[in-house]
Chains A and B, each alone.
Chain A
Amino acid sequence: MSQVQSSAGPILTTDGIPLKVSLKKAERKNKIRAFLLVLPLLAFIVITFLIPIGDMLARSIDDRQINTVFPKTFEIYKKWDRKGLPSEEVYKTMFFELKESEGYSIGKASTRMNYSKSGWKSLLKKSKRKFKKIEEGPYKEKMIAVDKKWGDPEYWLALGQMVDPTTMGYYLNAVDLKYDSNKNIVQQKENRRIYNKTWIKTFKVSILVTLFCLLLGYPISYLLATLPMKYSNLLMICVLLPFWTSLLVRTVAWMVMLQQKGVFNNLMVMAGLIADENRWQLMYNQTAVIIVMTQILLPFMVLPLYSVMKTISPTYMRAALNLGASPLHAFYKIYMPNSIPGVSAGCLLVFILAIGYYITPELVGGKDGQMVGNWIAYHLKTTLNWGLCAALGAILLAMMTALYWAYNKIVGIENIKLG
C-alpha cells in the first residue's frame, strides 16, 4: 500500500496543495485555540506544582550550602590525604573564612555539618565568638586551644561527605543508613533507627485502611447501584454527607467517640460488655488511625465502585441465573469480574491518599500511630531539615509511581474507571 502511494507521490487536494499540508493548515486554528484555553491552568500548574516539585527533588540531593560558606577551605581540604590532622594551611583558611563570614550563613552551614557529625554546630558557634581575639598564627594550635574538638580527626573527616555539591546522605537517612567518616554506607545507631519502622507502619496502615474500605464499601456500592433511584439517592447523600464535612471536624468527632471516657467506651461499659477499669484504649494509637482513616477515606472507595457498578446491567445476573448458576456463583463469576475496574480504581485512590496522610495520624495517632507524613511535617517545621523532608517526600513519590507502573502492567490503566 505505502509503496503504491509513495510512487504516486503525496495525495493532493483539488487545488494541488499536498493533502497533509492543507489538513495541518485547517487544524492549526483549532490547535491554537485549544492551547490558549488550557494555557492559564498550565501556567498555574507549572508555577505552583511542577517547579516546587522540581525544587524539592533538587533539595533532596543538594549539598552546596557549605561549599559556598567555606569555598577556599574546601579547595585545600580536597588535597588532604585524610590521615591524622589536616595541615596548618587548612586550619588557617578555615579560621579566616569562619571569622569573616556572616552569622546567618554560618548557621545554615553548621546545621548541615551537624548532620554528618553532631557537635559541629556548637563548635562553630563557640569558635566564631572566640576567634575574634586571635590576631595571628600558628592557627592550628590556637584553634585547638579554643576547643579541643578542632584537634579531633573525626570532625575533619566528617567534612569529607560535603566535598561534592550533591549527596545521597538525605536518602540514606530516610532509610536509617548514613555515611561513616570514610564515606562508607553504614546503618544508623540502634537508637536512631526510626524511619524503616515508620515506612513499614505507613504501608501496614495504608494496606489495612484500603482493605477495610473495600470490605465496607463494596456491599454499600452494590446496594447503591441496584436500589431504585429514590432510595439510592438518599443513601448516596448519607455516603457523601461526611465527605462534605471538614476533615478536622470529623477527626475531632472521632476523638470524642473513641477516647477512654468517650461515647463508645461508655456504651460498652453501660451494656456491661467491659469493666469500667478495663476501658479499651482506642485513641492515640494505630487502631485509632486505622478506624478514623477508614471512615474518612470510605467515599473515595464508594464513588468509583458505584460508578462502575451502575454500568453493570442487571440482566447479566439474570442471564447467569437463567443459565443455571446459583446466585452466589453468578455473583462471583459474572458480577465481580465486571466490577474489577471500580475495585482497582478505588483501592489505588484510597491507598495513594492513605500513604501520604498527615492530619489524622497527627491528631489521633499518638506516638504509636505516626506515619511518614508526620515525620515530613516534623522536619519541615521543627528541625528545618528540608533535605531530609525532600528525600522522604521523593521516596513517597517514587513508591506511588512504582505502584502506578505495576498497576498499569498488571491490570492496565485503561481499565480504571473513576466515573
Chain B
Amino acid sequence: MSQKDSFVKFEKVDKSYDGEVLVVKDLNLDVPKGEFLTMLGPSGSGKTTVLMMLAGFETPTNGEIYLDGNPISSIPPNKRGIGMVFQNYALFPHMTVKENLAFPLEVRKMQQSEIDKKVSNALAMVELQDFGNRMPLQLSGGQQQRVALARSLVFEPRLVLMDEPLGALDKNLREQMQYEIKHIHERIGITVVYVTHDQSEALTMSNRIAVFNDGKIQQISSPDILYEKPNSSFVAQFIGENNQLKGKVKSIKGDNCVVTTESGDDVQALKINVNNSGDGSLVSLRPERVAINSSESFENNFDAKVKELIYLGDHIRSRVEVCGNDQFIVKIPNSHKGANLKEGATVKLSWKASDSRALDLN
C-alpha cells in the first residue's frame, strides 16, 4: 500500500477490553488526505472504539495505526495533534468561549497576538464573533456545538475526529449543522473521521461511509453506492428503507438468479452474495424502485393487496402484501394520479431485476 494515498491507516487492529470479547476485529482501513469518512453503525458496533484508538485514549490490543506514514500507538494523545469534537462538546465550563478557543494555542506557547488573531478567525468561521466573552453554559446547544467545532480546528490539526457531535441537537438544527460542517470541510480541505449512528447524517456529509457491525466493517464505499448497491442484508437494512423478500435460490445464471419466495413466487434478482441454488436468501428492494400499476413492463410483476395507507404529505406510504410479505412498502408520490388508492384494493407491482438484490439470509 503506498503511503501517500492513506493518510490514516489501520493495519490488522484488534481491540478487546476484557480479554474475552473483541470489540474491534481485524480492522484494516485507509483514509486518504482530505477525505470525510463516516463510521456508521448501531451502538456497540465498535465505531467509537476505533475513534478513541485514533485519538489515543484507547490502545489497540493488536496491530498498528499509522498517521501520515508514522506509527502512533506509542504517542500520547496530547502529542498527536488531532482535533476532536466530543459527543457533549466538552467545553470547559469555567472558561469563556475565547479562553476555550485559546487553550490549545496557549499550550502550544504561541504569541498572544497570534492567539487573538486565530481565535477571532475561528469565531468568524462559525459565525459567533459576538459571543467570545460568554460562558459556554450561556450558549444554546447549537452555539456550543459550533464553539466545540471551532476549538477542534483552531490549532490547525491535520485530522479532526467527531464523535456523534450532533446527537444532542434537535432535528432542524442538526440538519443545519450537517451542512455547516460539510461546507467547512470543503473549504479547508481537512481530513475528517466522523462517527454517527444516524444514517441520513452519514449520507449527507460523507465522501465515504464505513458501515460497522459486530466490530467489523461490513461495507465501505461512497453514499450512493452504499445506498443503491448494498452487498449484505445488514447494510441494506441499516441504510435507508428496504423491502425484503425471504426465499430460496432456485437457479443462478451469470450475475442473475431466481429466488423462490415462501409464497411460491419467483423473483428475478441480481446475484450478490448467494452462491448455490438451494441457499436461503433475502431479496432486497428499495421502496422507491417499485412501480405501481405501471404500463411499462419489468422483469418482476406481481399482484399485491393494499393493507394500509399512511399520508405523509409529499408522498403516501402504502403497506401492501406481495409474495407472502405483508410489510412490503411502496412510496406513491402525492400527485393527482396517486392519491386515489383504496385500502383493500388489488394493485399491480413491478420492478426491475437489476433493482432487486439477492443477499445473504443474515
In the bound complex, what is the Cα–Cα distance between A326 and B90 (angstroms)?
A: 17
B118 to chain A, nearest CB (A): 13
Contact flags (1/0) for B72-96 with A, using CB distance below 8 Å? 0000111101111011101111100
Known: A315-B88, A318-B57. A323 touches B155 (CB 8 A): yes
Tell me which of B76, B86, B108 contacts A319 (CB under 8 A): B86
Are B78 and A318 in contact, with the CB atoms below 8 A? no
CA distance A66 to B151 in the complex (A): 76
A-B contact count (CB 8 A): 60
B55 contacts which chain A residues (CB < 8 A)?
Answer: 318, 322
CA distance A321 to B79 in the complex (A): 8
Q: Which of A318, A319, A323 contacts B107 (CB 8 A)?
A: A323
State the majority secondary structure of interface residues on B: loop
Cα distance A333–B100 in the bound complex, in angstroms: 11
Inter-chain CA distance A315–B57, complex, in Å, is 11
Is the pair A324, B104 in contact by a Cβ cutoff of 8 Å? yes
With A334-B92, A338-B93 as known contacts, state yes or no: A324 contacts B86, CB within 8 Å: no
Which A residues lie within 8 Å of B90 (CB)?
A: 313, 315-316, 318-319
Q: A324 contacts B108, CB within 8 Å?
A: yes
Rounded to whole Å, the gap between the CB of B47 and the closest CB of chain A is: 17
- In the assembly, what is the distance between CA of A316 and CA of B103, in Å? 12
Residues of A319-339 whose CB lies within 8 A of B: 319-327, 329-330, 333-334, 337-338
Q: Please tell me if the beta carbons of A325 and B94 are within 8 angstroms of each other in the complex.
A: no
Q: Which of B193-227 contact A (CB under 8 A)?
A: none
Q: In the complex, which residues of chain B have a beta carbon less than 8 angstroms from the beta carbon of A323?
A: 78, 103-104, 107, 151, 155
Contact A322 to B78, CB < 8 A, known contacts A315-B86, A329-B107: yes
In this complex, how many residues of chain B approach chain A with their Cβ under 8 Å: the count is 25
Docked CA distance A96–B108 (Å): 91
Q: Looking at A322, A329, A337, A338, which has the most chain B CB atoms within 10 Å of its CB?
A: A322
Indicate the member of A313, A323, A329, A337 with the most B CB atoms within 10 Å: A323
Contact B77 A322 (CB under 8 A): yes
Q: Interface 1/0s, chain B 156-178, versus A by CB < 8 A? A: 00000000000000000000000
Q: How many angstroms between the C-alpha atoms of A224 and B91 in the bound complex?
A: 24
Residues of B within 8 A of A315 (CB): 86-88, 90
Q: Are A325 and B78 neighbours in the complex by a CB distance under 8 Å?
A: yes
**B259-276: contact bitstring with A at CB < 8 Å (1 yes, 0 no)?**
000000000000000000
Q: Within the assembled complex, what's the spacing in Å between the Cα atoms of A78 and B77?
A: 85
Given contacts A315-B86, A321-B77, A322-B77, contact A337 B94 (CB under 8 A): yes
Q: Are A318 and B77 in contact (CB under 8 A)?
A: yes
Starting from the known contacts A324-B79, A325-B107, 12 additional A-B residue pairs (CB-CB under 8 Å) come to A315-B87, A315-B88, A318-B55, A318-B86, A318-B90, A319-B91, A321-B56, A321-B57, A322-B77, A326-B107, A330-B78, A338-B94
What are 9 A-B interface contacts by the 8 Å CB criterion? A313-B90, A316-B90, A319-B86, A322-B56, A323-B78, A323-B104, A324-B108, A325-B104, A338-B94
The 4 closest A-B pairs by CB, nearest first: A323-B104, A319-B90, A315-B90, A321-B77
